């Protein structure tokens, strides 16, 4: 996804004009009609293999990696739509990580639910940050969601968008200790546990 501007506003997030790259197959897909909204640097890239893959510009993609690159005037955004009503926890082994330390000035990141920022952070060029280390990061252990809610993982270019290829290592798990009981086959019993 992308934003219409550099403002962190979920109402402006769209897939129109986005480029999706699968470095395993070399396949590129574009969402929507593109047109003026298309920016070759703004993309979501994923490596679905079990080994490191290298691009032509020296970037290395670890196995099972999702990476994004923001544009000069737009944010790169990945959204997760909740299939449940309950409580989830967001974590990741490396959180947010700069995959190209050859230039740039680092990035800002944000995790949003609806119109609210749950946690955010920043790091310099070549850096990384766990989600839990960001401002509000402790709240990511218990996020109440309803089916259909979207968590947005936002990468902001921090003014200089060059070399901002950024890995997003995200794990979302249901927290059964604070979850909901399932309904029986007649729909009874759906209530907080």
- Whether residue 192 lies inside any domain: the answer is no
> Is residue 36 over pLDDT 50?
no
Total of domains in the chain? 1
Question: Which pLDDT value is given to residue 152?
Answer: 94
- Whether residue 45 lies inside any domain: the answer is yes
Round to the nearest angstrom and report the end-to-end CA distance of the chain: 35
Burial classification of residue 143, based on how many CB atoms lie within 10 Å of its CB (0-12 exposed, 13-18 middle, 19 or more buried) = buried
> Is residue 192 over pLDDT 50?
no
- In this prediction, residues 151-177 reach a mean pLDDT of 89
Give residue 93's domain range: 10-178
Where is pLDDT greater, at 181 or 149? Answer: 149
Backbone angles phi, psi at 124, to 5 degrees: -75, 175
Q: What is the CATH number of the domain that holds 98?
A: 2.60.120
- Whether residue 193 lies inside any domain: the answer is no
pTM for this predicted structure: 0.81
- Whether residue 29 lies inside any domain: the answer is yes
> Is residue 10 over pLDDT 70?
yes
Question: Using one digit for the tens of pLDDT, what is the confidence trace for 108-139?
Answer: 999 999 889 999 999 999 999 999 999 999 99
Where is pLDDT greater, at 32 or 156? Answer: 156
- Whether residue 186 lies inside any domain: the answer is no
- Whether residue 1 lies inside any domain: the answer is no
């Amino acid at each position: 996804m992308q934003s219409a501007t550099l403002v962190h506003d979920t109402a402006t997030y769209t897939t129109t004009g986005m480029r999706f790259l699968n470095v395993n197959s070399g396949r590129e897909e574009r969402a929507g009609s593109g047109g003026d909204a298309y920016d070759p640097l703004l993309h979501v890239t994923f490596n679905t293999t079990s080994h490191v893959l290298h691009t032509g510009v020296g970037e290395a993609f670890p196995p099972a990696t999702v990476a994004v690159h923001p544009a000069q005037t737009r944010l790169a955004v990945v959204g997760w739509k909740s299939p449940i009503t309950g409580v989830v926890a967001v974590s990741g082994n490396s959180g947010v990580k700069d995959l190209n330390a050859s230039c740039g000035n680092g990035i800002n990141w944000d995790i949003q639910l609806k119109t609210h920022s749950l946690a955010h952070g920043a790091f310099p060029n070549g850096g990384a940050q766990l989600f839990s280390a960001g401002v509000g990061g402790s709240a990511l252990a218990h996020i109440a969601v309803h089916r259909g809610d979207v968590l947005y993982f936002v990468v902001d270019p921090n003014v200089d968008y060059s070399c901002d290829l950024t890995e997003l290592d995200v794990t979302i798990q249901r927290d059964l200790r604070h979850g909901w009981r399932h309904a029986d086959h007649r729909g009874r019993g759906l209530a907080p546990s």
